[in-house]
Amino acid sequence: MKFYFEEIKERGFEENLNSGILSCQGCGAPIAMRHVLRVLGKNTVFAVPACCWTIIDGNYPMHSLKVPLLHVAFETAAISAVGIKAGLEAKGFKDVNVVAWAGDGGTYDIGIQALSGAAERGDDIIYICYDNEAYMNTGIQRSGSTPYKAWTTTTPYTRPNPRPKKDIIQIMAAHRVPYIATISIAYLNDLIRKVEKAKNLKGKGLRFLLIYSPCPPGWRLPSSELTIKIARLAVQTNFFPLYEIEDGEKYTLNFIPDKKPLKEFIKLQGRFKHLKDEEIEEMEKDVQKNFERILNLHKLTHGNIENIPKGFYK
Amino acid sequence: MCKGVPKGDNNNGKGGIMQNMKVIMGNHALSYGAKLSRVEIISAYPITPQTQVVELLSEMVGSGELKAKFVNVESEHSALAVCISASLTGARAFTATSAQGLALMHELLHYAAGARTPIVMGVINRAMATPWSIWTDQNDSLSQRDTGWMQIYCESNQEVLDSVILGYKISERVMLPQMIVLEAFVLSHTSEPVEIPDQKIVDDFLPPYQNPYALTPSNPRAIGAVTSPDFYMEFRYKIQKAMDNAIEVILEEGKKFQEKFGRYWGLVDSFYAEDAEIVIVCAGAYSSTVKYAVKKAREEGKNIGVLRIRVFRPFPYEKIREYLLGKNVIVLDRNISFGAGGIFYQEIKSALFGKKKTKCAGYILGLGGRDITPSDIDGIVSDFLKRKKFDDIIFWGLKK
Amino acid sequence: MEEKIKFDKLEDYPEIPISTATTKHNKTGSWRNLKPVIKDKAAPCSKACPTNTLIPNYFNFFIDGNIKQAGKILTLHNPFPSITGRVCPAFCQTACNRRKFDERISIREIERVVGDLYLPYKIEQRPQTEIDKRVAIVGAGPAGLSCAFYLRKFGYKVIIFEKEEKAGGILRYGIPEYRLPKKILDKEIEILEEMGINFEYKKELGKDIDLYTLKKEFDAVFIGIGAHVEKKMMIEGEENFISGSEFLKDVSLGKREPPGKKVAVIGGGNVAMDVIRTLLRMGANPVLLYRRTENEMPALKEEIEKAKEDGIEFRFLILPVKARKENDKIVLTNIKMKLGEPDKSGRRRPIPIEGSEEEEVFDAVITAIGEESDRSCVPKEILGEDGWVYADKRTGATKIEGVFAGGDFVQGPSTVVEAFSWGRKSAEAIDRYLKGEEIVKVEVPEKTVSFMQIQMEYFERKNALRPKEIPPYERIKSLEIEENPGFTKEQSLEEALRCFSCGVCNFCGICYSYCPDAAILWKENKPEIDYDYCKGCGICAKECPRGIITMEKEE
């Protein structure tokens, strides 16, 4: 076997991130960050609102990334990135990649106003949400991204999350931004390709990337080693399909897996341990319905599903 | 053109070349000030009575008269967020707001000061809801006095325009943000003749902004990380030191401004307050009314003067004591800190405490835009002279 | 930028809360409870191989295009891969983990190609320095040649004494041309000669040379004379039968006329298969007579299948009990058998059915019921209590000091690869012996990677390539047709890419790619764990496709 993830090899092994970060063992977020940085390179500035990465990047006076990072107020990820971009352009730096790097809380909930504004205005930033499906940094509280019936500290087993996960992708599609993509940290060639695409759409408007980022303590995984496995199962069970949307209307489904039963994904996570089989079956139906919807939208865009990789994907 | 720092800070902005005069409203004075300061980023969210500020600026940007990036943000909170982050990349940023908008920005006011961003923001004093009011009082800006922003209270549209230019010069030297405060409608929508200074002279006075810590790709550092008790306090100390330093810088730059433009703007504005026995302390546009009443009173033989506070933050302790110790002091507040009383009154009182016997009283008036007339001022002076005892909180002009 | 993390004075601080150092000062390695260790393990194919060939290791070099390194690794354990690549039963393939995923790898075919491609470079194994010690090897069969190769590689002076006129033993005189073309063997012998090994032909142990003399004149001796004494059936008329191994030897020397048209072959082992398939190619109509059924035949399944494909007639549960010559023919009296309880070999015992004798006429009868070693040429001391040659399985050391033995001579008829293994182990033991070290070297075996430890997610299903064999009706036309043409180089590469590389790092970089702390460095195309920062999350160990990384307790 050659180097497995060819896209990583092609872009080189230089890390734009220093070790010594304060993430929990097995955290999915820095895995995403490493490879995003690999694509974007040093000509990048990050705006990071209150989220796990506020801590991960290191306490004062330390800083992990080898690019500049501005810690910004919780609601302001998108608009702070806009400000950075505007400021840099005013100062003559034309091609800098400006990234808003936020968690799900700062994207789906408190940050959605700023995100919507930036998307609607067509601001030239890359917005990356690393989604661990709750307010993890403050201790695992429920967010708009928390899946149906999941346990969190504010939706305990006695009253698990009563609402389905907000479909932020449809919201962003409605803004008709030039590019939206869902990403799982298990599929790194796919991640790199999509970040590259987002990078190359500089000047066209807001590019939105949703990176599924498992959290071992927050999802109550039995061990920290399961992060990638869970990120992969999410895709293989169609719970988190991998797809892209261009200009809000052109859908491309990236991968049709050999579907695994949702139970495999659910039963591995303590935050779902209270679910009964009937409830999982109901969830399975919703998952399939959503997948079919995306599949149909792909057909609408491309005419057929022939060119979608099936069974095996990187 | 006056030369040198006028004695008693009473230039009150008189003088200057006085060519290129325009009759403009206070809001547009802010716009011209921003334009002449060559701001690079303008963020705009509308709120009555601020809208004209950004409307004129958008036209200036649109026509190319002003090379700046104009961001039509979706809330005031975002408006200030843009300014902060743009400022941290080294760009000169401007925005303006009022009342609810300023309150919405509150979190970020702290943020801007902590990040030491030299943003200049126009604040049009408007009464806070509930209930809705679009008329003026000073609660909105004063309730932000703890955030680390400098605050300049303007009496005239000329002062507004000049203060923006001065504002950037001072802010960029001390690395603190600044509010240029003017009253809703009374100043914001009132047209006055204003000299629009020559751009070349402004450029001479105000060089382009350079942020030594600018977050550009060649400076791969983080700003604002979680800071433990071991480190945090010194940064707060540095903010206070900057405020201390600002007193000197304001005086220095005021002098330089006068040399270039012929008008002097200092920490306070004295109207016969040096030798008066009774001094009325006030701030903002209604100070003109106070001066008018006091002028009349002086003609009638009263030894009375006005000390208009121009710079509220940093609080000019020395100037206050210089003018007020040992005198009879009436402090007017177009604001109230509920449960404690007029804000200027509290701070003036604390400045005078324990130094020399000074009789000092505070009157709260004009809230929500209730008109302040010369007869109000006369009435207050009479009341002051009549009273033996002074309550901590005295309202004036209420319906009984 | 000079890093600053200690702020003692106010002037140490920058004016604004901007960072002054990187997180490298924060050694998160202290968070660990468990520590990942990257260490190659044993692949099941290597474990199953009698020579423990490092199969995934040489595959990886082959895939990289490095034939020299591939050959070097391959011949560390297997001296003549071109040979085993043609005749080995391939225990490796049976153990291959890939069989549980889709289909096993065609390991033998790849070994053959790599072995052949390496031949031009093999001379580099010639020793760099000479050791002034002499070792005598008796028998130029697989065991002896293997032992000679390794001893010579180490630098010793090696002389091989061979009874026949040419070297090879069973490789030349037993295995037919259609399975192992002699030109391959000749090439290997040539390389041995170029390495500096001396061959003395027509020197038979017990006649031209004897063990004690050898022991005196040499610093060590290895005996690998094989097992060529045909077992006797102990029936009347046996003298009319032809010995299977004799027959094959004649064929290897050039005989092409079959001993008759209708020929009976008695036996069920590999020699019987070689004999009967050779007869067919010579134009005879051979018939196999075996006293048990196909299930019990000791021959390799592959050989039995091929013989069936060739169209050879098998007759099961039949045993000749008497023979007599009549004119030029041989009349066999055969009795029918039935299967009873298992005997000590575990196979069901054949029991004659009373009164079922039948006579049948054959032009010739060849027996191939098993071979034994010739113990008459060696002193009795070398024998064990059971009367068979005794040698330590780990070292080949016999009870006589300085004398080693291995291969079929010790363990009875077995496989070429096992003889190669004996040869190498003995060579290594002789090396230790001559250096004055302990002959026995205790090695803790590596854990073997089972299929459960393979991460299937990283592999795409793909059917195995199998060599396109020449169809039976074609191949039986001549003895000279090598019936398995093997793979091309491209086919081997394609098939080798299917290898999971169980337990052997092939630098896929998955551990590096997934580390959340960038604590696995990618240095010179290899992973290296930076224990200063590794938090012990275990993702690398979990995701490693081939089970190389294990989590161990932190001390």
**pLDDT grade for C385, boundaries at 50, 70 and 90:** confident
Is C7 in Cβ contact with B231 (below 8 Å)? yes
- B-chain residues within 8 Å CB-CB of A75? 77-78, 81
pLDDT at B18 over 80: no
Domain assignment of residue C247, given as a range: 231-370
Query: Chain A closest CA to C49's CA: distance in Å?
Result: 22
What CATH number corresponds to the domain at position C164? 3.50.50.60
Query: Chain C closest CA to A27's CA: distance in Å?
Result: 6
Task: For residues B141-152, give the mean pLDDT.
Answer: 97
Q: What is the pLDDT of residue B2?
A: 37
Number of domains within chain C: 3
What does the domain layout of chain A look like in residue ranges?
Answer: 6-302
What CATH number corresponds to the domain at position B342? 3.40.50.920
A166-180, B380-394, C234-248: which has the highest mean pLDDT? A166-180
Q: What is the pLDDT of residue A1?
A: 57
Q: What is the pLDDT of residue C45?
A: 96
- Same domain for B74 and B169, yes or no, is yes
C181-184 long-range contacts (CB < 8 A, ≥24 apart) are: C181/C482, C182/C252, C184/C82, C184/C83, C184/C86, C184/C116
Task: For residues B59-88, give the mean pLDDT.
Answer: 96
| Structure token digits, residue A114 | 């700023």
Are the CB atoms for A70 and A48 separated by under 8 Å? yes
pLDDT at C521 over 90: yes
Nearest by CB to residue C15, choosing from B116, B224, B225, is: B116
Distance CA B212, CA A198 (A): 31
Number of domains within chain B: 2
Task: For residues A73-88, give the mean pLDDT.
Answer: 96
CA angle C278, C284, C289 (to 5 degrees): 75
Are the CB atoms for B179 and B160 separated by under 8 Å? no
Task: For residues A213-235, give the mean pLDDT.
Answer: 97
**pLDDT grade for C13, boundaries at 50, 70 and 90:** very high
pLDDT at C340 over 90: no
User: Kind and range of the H or E element at A175?
Assistant: none
- Same domain for B339 and B200, yes or no, is no
Residues with Cβ within 8 Å of residue C419, at least 6 apart in sequence: C141, C142, C143, C146, C224, C406, C407, C408
Instruction: Name the least confident of A74-83, A95-104, B15-24.
Output: B15-24
Q: What is the pLDDT of residue B12?
A: 64
- Same domain for B246 and B303, yes or no, is no
Q: What is the pLDDT of residue C555?
A: 75
Query: What are the Cα distances from residue A188, in Å, to A232, C45, C345, C385?
Result: 11, 31, 55, 64
- Same domain for B101 and B232, yes or no, is yes
- A-chain residues within 8 Å CB-CB of B228? 59-60
Residues with Cβ within 8 Å of residue B307, at least 6 apart in sequence: B268, B269, B270, B271, B273, B279, B280, B281, B282, B320, B323, B324
Residue from C8, C18, C19 to probe the interface with B (highest B Cβ count within 10 Å): C18
Amino acid at C270: N
Amino acid at A173: A
Walk across the sheet containing C242-243 and list its strands: C242-243, C364-367, C262-266, C285-290, C313-316
Query: What are the Cα distances from residue C100, in Å, to A126, A251, C107, C497?
Result: 44, 38, 15, 17
Q: What is the pLDDT of residue A17?
A: 96
Percent of chain C, pLDDT > 70?
Answer: 100
Complex ipTM, two decimals? 0.96
pLDDT at B13 over 80: no
Domain assignment of residue B66, given as a range: 7-261
Length of chain C: 555
Are the CB atoms for C269 and C298 separated by under 8 Å? yes
Q: Does A5 touch chain C (CB under 8 A)?
A: yes
Compute and round to an integer the Cα radius of gyration of chain C. Answer: 29
**pLDDT grade for C1, boundaries at 50, 70 and 90:** low
Residue-wise pLDDT tens digits, B79-97: 999 999 999 999 999 999 9
Is A116 in Cβ contact with B74 (below 8 Å)? yes
Q: Does C20 touch chain B (CB under 8 A)?
A: yes
Which phi and psi (to 5°) does residue C482 adopt?
Answer: -70, 110
Distance CA A72, CA A89 (A): 20
Residue C551 within a domain: no
- C-chain residues within 8 Å CB-CB of B111? none
- Same domain for C265 and C365, yes or no, is yes
Distance CA C428, CA C420 (A): 12
Q: What is the pLDDT of residue B388?
A: 87
Q: What is the pLDDT of residue C139?
A: 95
Query: Chain A closest CA to B48's CA: distance in Å?
Result: 21
Q: Does C20 touch chain A (CB under 8 A)?
A: yes
- Same domain for B254 and B279, yes or no, is no
Q: Is A75 helix (H, G, I), strand (E, B) or coil?
A: helix
Percent of chain B, pLDDT > 90?
Answer: 90
Task: For residues C322-339, give the mean pLDDT.
Answer: 91
CA angle B385, B389, B390 (to 5 degrees): 85
Among C403, C17, C471, C477, smallest CA distance to C222 is for C403
Residue B399 within a domain: no
- Same domain for C248 and C183, yes or no, is no
- Same domain for B245 and B149, yes or no, is yes
Of B261, B294, B310, which closes a domain?
A: B261
Q: Does A3 touch chain C (CB under 8 A)?
A: yes
Up-side HSE of residue A285: CA atoms within 13 Å toward CB? 5
Are the CB atoms for B301 and B257 separated by under 8 Å? no
Residue C254 burial (CB < 10 Å; 0-12/13-18/19+)?
A: exposed
Residue-wise pLDDT tens digits, B342-354: 999 999 999 999 8
- Give the count of beta carbons closer than 10 Å to the beta carbon of residue C436: 6
Place of tokens 């070429």: C416
Place of tokens 């040659």: C389
Among C333, C325, C259, smallest CA distance to C289 is for C333
Is C26 in Cβ contact with A58 (below 8 Å)? yes
pLDDT at B5 over 60: no
With b for 16 or more beta-carbon neighbours within 10 A and e for fewer, the A298-310 pattern comes to beeeeeeeeebee
Distance CA B161, CA B206 (A): 14
**pLDDT grade for B4, boundaries at 50, 70 and 90:** very low
Percent of chain C, pLDDT > 90?
Answer: 81
Residue-wise pLDDT tens digits, C237-251: 999 999 999 999 999
Up-side HSE of residue A270: CA atoms within 13 Å toward CB? 15
Nearest by CB to residue B223, choosing from A70, A88, A120, is: A70
**pLDDT grade for A285, boundaries at 50, 70 and 90:** very high
Residue-wise pLDDT tens digits, C426-484: 999 999 999 999 999 888 888 899 999 999 999 999 999 999 889 999 899 999 889 99
Distance CA A46, CA A68 (A): 6
Task: For residues C279-292, give the mean pLDDT.
Answer: 94
Nearest by CB to residue B81, choosing from A43, A60, A76, is: A76
What CATH number corresponds to the domain at position B64? 3.40.50.970
- Same domain for C347 and C366, yes or no, is yes
Percent of chain B, pLDDT > 70?
Answer: 96
Distance CA A224, CA C537 (A): 5
Which letter does DSSP use for residue A141 in this model? B
Which phi and psi (to 5°) does residue C541 adopt?
Answer: -65, -40
pLDDT at C28 over 60: yes
Amino acid at C372: E
Instruction: Name the least confident of B11-25, B39-53, B168-182, C244-258.
Output: B11-25
**pLDDT grade for C73, boundaries at 50, 70 and 90:** very high
Residue-wise pLDDT tens digits, C134-174: 999 999 999 999 999 999 999 999 999 999 999 999 999 99
Query: What are the Cα distances from residue B292, in Å, to B345, B372, C205, C257?
Result: 22, 12, 137, 140
- Same domain for B254 and B277, yes or no, is no
- B-chain residues within 8 Å CB-CB of C15? 116, 175, 212-213, 238
Is C508 in Cβ contact with A1 (below 8 Å)? yes
Q: Which A positions 73-132 lie with beta carbon below 8 A of chain C?
A: none
Q: Does A296 touch chain C (CB under 8 A)?
A: no
- Same domain for B245 and B319, yes or no, is no
pLDDT at B327 over 50: yes
- Same domain for B316 and B181, yes or no, is no
Q: Does C512 touch chain A (CB under 8 A)?
A: yes
pLDDT at C553 over 80: yes
CATH topology of domain A6-302: Rossmann fold (3.40.50)
Q: What is the pLDDT of residue C426?
A: 96
Residues with Cβ within 8 Å of residue B49, at least 6 apart in sequence: B27, B98, B124, B126, B134, B184, B185, B188, B189
Which pTM does this prediction carry? 0.91
Nearest by CB to residue B213, choosing from C10, C13, C18, is: C18
- Same domain for B207 and B335, yes or no, is no
